[in-house]
Amino acid sequence: MHVKEKKDMNNEEIIMKTRMGKKNPFRVPEGYFDNLTAQVMDRLPEDSGKKVVTMKPSLIVRLRPVLYVAACLFIAVLSFAVYLDKTGEGSEEQMMAEQVPSYESNFEDVADYVMVDNYEIYACLTND
């Protein structure tokens, strides 16, 4: 609502309250409210059966199962994440260990292919 509209609204409400007030022009027969409760209760059926107000449990009680499940899931996810983190380091080492033998075996295959012995390799490496 714009400021002018709010101001107009407030003015109109003020005028209304000034002119109208909150006077109650209605009235009731004498003693009406004194007898009202008894009249109402007399009109009610004798027994409403087994119907009663069924109180809903408080919000926290209703949410408790959901919170339990959420907590369990959180712990499970956290544990799995920790597990993955630890096994991840092991697998890297394992991969490196696998690579070394394959590297070594490849070198040996090459060395056999060129029919070069260890003395000659050493000599080659130390030669300027």
Partner 1 sequence: MPISDQELKQLLSDAKTMRHGFEMMVRQYSEQLYWLIRRMVLMHEDANDVLQNTFIKAWNGIENFHGDSKLATWLSRIAINESLDFLRKQKNNHLVSTDDQDAGIAQQLMSDDYFDGDEVEAQLQEAIAQLPDVQRTVFMLRYYDEKKYNEISKILGTSEGALKASYHIAVKKISEFFHQHD
Residues interacting with partner 1, by CB under 8 A? 1, 9, 12-13, 15-16, 19-20, 22-29, 32-33, 36-37, 39-41, 43-45, 48, 50-56
Residue 49 or 65: the one with the smaller Cβ distance to partner 1 is 49
Compute the least distance from the CB of residue 36 to partner 1, in Å.
5
**Nearer to partner 1 among residue 9 and residue 67 (C-beta):** 9
Nearest approach, Cβ of residue 85 and partner 1 (Å): 45
- Residue closer to partner 1, measured from CB, 25 or 88: 25
Q: Which is nearer to partner 1, 13 or 98 (CB)?
A: 13
Categorise residue 13: left if φ over 0, alpha if ψ from -120 to 50, beta otherwise.
alpha
Q: For residue 46, what is the DSSP state?
A: S
CA 78 to chain centre: 15
Q: How far is the CB of 67 from partner 1 (least distance, A)?
A: 20
Residue 9 beta carbon to partner 1: minimum distance, rounded to whole angstroms: 6
Distance CA 120, CA 111 (A): 11
Q: Convert 103-124 to b/e letters by CB count within 10 Å (16 or more is b).
A: eeeeeeeeeeeeeeeeeeeeee
Pseudo-torsion of CA 77, 83, 86, 88, nearest 10°? -80
